[in-house]
Structure 1
């Protein structure tokens, strides 16, 4: 209730004179904002121009932009128009300026980030970025990536790209991926580290372009699909497909023109100078596979301080993406995880600190990924160590000291230092995640 609204009886004001009693400064500010007590500036916010009242002094104290707007040489009068920020977001900004409340949600965080940038409210900008950073998942990562690019948050951009690279199959199936801007889409599909087949990237680009056609009320013809794709199509590494897949999945459409189809067919069979093409002819992107050294869960495994550690060698160049770890013996379970990969005593990769939470009884294993995949070389000895903090986990049975998978032979060795009793025939690391 606006206690000082025109026409109110004086008794209402009199009865409210002790409203400050027992309230903190933040609570007083919140009360004055909510009830518009002594407000001396008003804004017309959003496309509909909703009237929002506030206090000049509070805004100017917390934002140099509001200070200049309200007290500078070009100070604006009342009813200041702010059409580019919706009322729900403007109230998030005001609550932060008045009380320090960080009250962002999925629906308001992007707008709050924009408002914080516009009015130079650094702490709200940091809080909004942290919220985004902590809420990256399949359904949100594409929207967060666009925001990271817009506001030039490089670390957040890198984290989004890392998530997409590791989860691109599910990300490309999410509706939010269809809303990527063309520039961002090109950055995503040009990544060297997408864990997906090239034909699936091609199919995703078609879905993305069809969505653009639909929004523009255009016929979803092959000609219009190609027009919407533009040069992004050149990022698909068609040369890594076999000729049968290319003929059945690509040539049946007219998305590529006849000259491009012939050009790519010749590249696939090796009958053309590869410099005479616009297509990205980089090396084949990886598809991961898992090498298992244990056949399944058996007994329990405890954690009392030391890290689990294991050594291994490979017989050929192969890329290591991460490891399988045994999960908790009962669900739900939570582990704090951190780790490293070493070649002799030199760090060559790391598993970033993370929290693993599982609730399904089938989650007797979980993946931990290296920050970036690491190329392993023959005749070198590698050691991985991972420190788990949490409940007792499963242990495996029937361990193999040597495993062959897709032409890759991995031999396992017991590390003679701290190893939490993990060895070549026992303990953690039931599997390695690799690609050729």
Structure 2
């Protein structure tokens, strides 16, 4: 019987799925009632349609002990159950990374292989993105081993980017432990510690507990000892960790002692290596000219450089002499300033560059540069005529890595983003 508000032409010119959805939404001729979720929301449906798509529903209604009366579904929320019904009735799936965990759960519960395949496809397409923590969380719960490995590998290579994902904090304790046990990762111990604290705080809020150090410690449990607190930035530890209530007094004292050479008694003693996978060489010029004139005294060519990924800076690429080389030109000073303008590298490299257009100076040790944290590269000019770059590009892209060059206020020569010295950099990412 038609209800008030029903249209009389809901069948005319409509597809089968449109008619089925209309009958579901209007509860027309329904013959089964579900009470769904902890609030036991009432949702009505049609046995025939459900049994035609799901072997579980078929057994429920046509098996040796068919369900009589209302069907109780306490382990699925009403929103997810409605998504399930819409898919059964029309093959239309309202799937997102926000609800994929719940949808995959009902796909397995009701043995809907096509729905499970849809979820797997979305997870596979998201595994090499900043949503890798979401994939790891879902894959771990449902024992999808290939996706577990792929998501962990991506997080290992792109930790900072993944930690910024809004859903990263929702990872289970098991997933967090998988990350904390990585022997190498593309972020500093301080970055990892910050994310760990953020994750522990979210766990408190999810359980409606106060976001206190004591509650975070309780939820973190043994994971707390996988953080190498002695390697965390000293200022951050003193200002943010020591007074938070997260650590005991004995643990705090042990960390402070470790800053002066004593081995700590509590936390992870291994040094987690910073993971960098592939070597990259970036040159900023479109063409090279000769005849860049030397400057009297020490003058620094300088550029600000920003990379959108964590990198391990290995070398500086400079333009070589175009004129006669003198012994006085053998030493080249390389300075690097961090994003705050503080000096993090200052070394004279004894080198006698040959008359090549460019030459590479490998740093005495690689320098870690965090994603999107610009650094300033300063090099004292060679005391003879050199080659120089022209039509230089302000931005270079290789794979998914973007290197941006900007003018620096520390530059004392005519070098700028359009021309001049400093040919490029080499790094691992």
Measured against the shorter chain, the TM-score band is: 0.5 to 0.7
State which structure, 1 or 2, has the greater radius of gyration over its C-alpha atoms. 2
Identify the residue that residue 65 of structure 2 maps to in structure 1. 74
Any conservation in 2 of the 1:43–1:51 contact (CA below 8 Å)?
yes
Specify the SS of the correspondent of 2:33: strand
Alignment-derived partner of residue 328 in structure 2: none
Alignment of 1:120 with 2:114, yes or no, is no
Task: State the distance in 2 between where 1:29 and 1:213 align.
Answer: 43
5+ residue gaps in structure 2?
288-304, 313-355, 367-396, 400-423
Spell out the pairing of 1:252-291 with structure 2 (5 A cutoff): 255-257=246-248, 259-260=250-251, 279-286=267-274
Q: TM-score, normalised by structure 2?
A: 0.58
Report the alpha carbon displacement of residue 96 of structure 1 after superposing the two structures with TM: 2.0
Equivalent-residue separation in structure 2 for 1:6 and 1:225 (angstroms)? 54
Structure 1: how far apart are the matches of 2:242 and 2:79?
A: 50
* 192 and 129 in structure 1: CA distance in 2 versus 1, 3 angstrom threshold: same
The offset of 1:176, in angstroms, is 3.4
CA shift digits 1:161-201 (9 cap, x unpaired): 23322332244345534433333222222222321111232
In the alignment, what sits opposite 2:428?
434
Name the SS of the counterpart of 1:42 in structure 2: strand
Q: In 2, distance between residues paired with 1:367 and 1:205?
A: 20
The 5 Å alignment of 1:151-300 reads 151-213=142-204, 216-218=208-210, 220-221=212-213, 223-238=214-229, 240=231, 255-257=246-248, 259-260=250-251, 279-286=267-274, 293-298=281-286
| 2:47 corresponds to 1:56 | yes
Write the distance in 1 (CA, Å) between the matches of 2:53 and 2:178: 37
Matched with 1:405 is: 363
- Relative to structure 1, is the Cα distance of residues 104 and 172 closer, same or farther in structure 2, using a 3 angstrom cutoff? closer
With normalisation by structure 1, the TM-score equals 0.57
Contact 1:293 1:403 in 2 (8 A): no
- The residue matched to 2:274 in structure 1 has which SS? coil
Are 1:291 and 1:403, in contact at CA under 8 Å, matched by a contact in 2? no
Shift of 1:296: 0.8
Do the aligned residues in 2 keep the contact of 1:40 with 1:53 (CA within 8 Å)?
A: yes
5+ residue gaps, structure 1, are 300-362, 374-397, 409-426
Distance in 1 (alpha carbons) for counterparts of 2:209 and 2:310: 44
Distance (whole Å) between structure 2 residues aligned to residue 249 and residue 87 of structure 1: 41
CA contact (8 A) 1:44 1:52 kept: yes
Query: Relative to 1, partners in 2 of residues 1:286 and 1:69: Cα closer, same or farther, differing over 3 Å?
Result: same
Name the stretch that deviates more: 78-87 or 254-263.
Answer: 254-263
Question: What corresponds to 1:110 in structure 2?
Answer: 101
Moved more, 187-196 or 260-269: 260-269
Tell me how far apart the structure 1 counterparts of residues 241 and 357 of structure 2 sit (CA, whole Å): 44
Q: Distance in 2 between matches of 1:6 and 1:173?
A: 50
Q: Deviations over 1:308-360 (max 9, x none)?
A: xxxxxxxxxxxxxxxxxxxxxxxxxxxxxxxxxxxxxxxxxxxxxxxxxxxxx
The match for 2:346 is: none
**2:410 maps to what in 1?**
none
Distance of aligned partners of 1:287 and 1:134 in 2 relative to their CA distance in 1, 3 Å threshold: closer
Q: 1:34 to 1:432 in 2, by over 3 A?
A: farther
2:126, 2:58 → 1: CA distance?
Answer: 33
Structure 2 distance, partners of 1:31, 1:249, is 56
- Written as runs of structure 1 = structure 2, the 5 A alignment for 1:120-159 is 120-135=111-126, 140-159=131-150
The CA distance in 1 between the partners of 2:243 and 2:306, in whole Å, is 44
Aligned to 1:384: none
Aligned to 2:386: none
1:353-389 deviation per Cα after TM superposition (whole angstroms, max 9, x unaligned): xxxxxxxxxx9998799xxx9xxxxxxxxxxxxxxxx
Matches for 1:8-27 after TM superposition, within 5 Å: 23-27=14-18
Shift of 1:77: 2.0
Q: Is the 8 A contact 2:133 2:171 kept in 1?
A: yes
3-state DSSP of counterpart to 2:192: helix
